[in-house]
Amino acid sequence: MGDRGDIVAAVFGYPLAVARTDGASNKILWVSKAPTPPGDLVIEAKLDGSEVAASRRVPGGPGPSIIDLPQPGCWRLTLTWTDHADTMDLVYG
């Protein structure tokens, strides 16, 4: 759940991993607390303790996605969509 409680990441590809050997994907269903008009979900991710960063976009806003990040570790995500913003941490192995 986001720090503000405005969004939830339902992880279906558990555990999230940089290199998947099981044929699964890093599937995440993003669920917004409030209904929102159409607009992309923008994800700005930063690897904890480093300067490594990545940007991802979920077309159409919160919903199903596959989010791959470049390195294992704890990632701090800043999520913005329509008139909303929230943050959360996700761990990739």
- C-alpha 28/C-alpha 36 separation (Å) is 18
pTM of the full predicted structure? 0.93
What is the pLDDT at residue 71? Answer: 97
What is the pLDDT at residue 34? Answer: 85
Q: Which domains does the chain have, with CATH numbers?
A: 7-92 (2.60.40.10)
Residues of the chain with pLDDT under 70: none
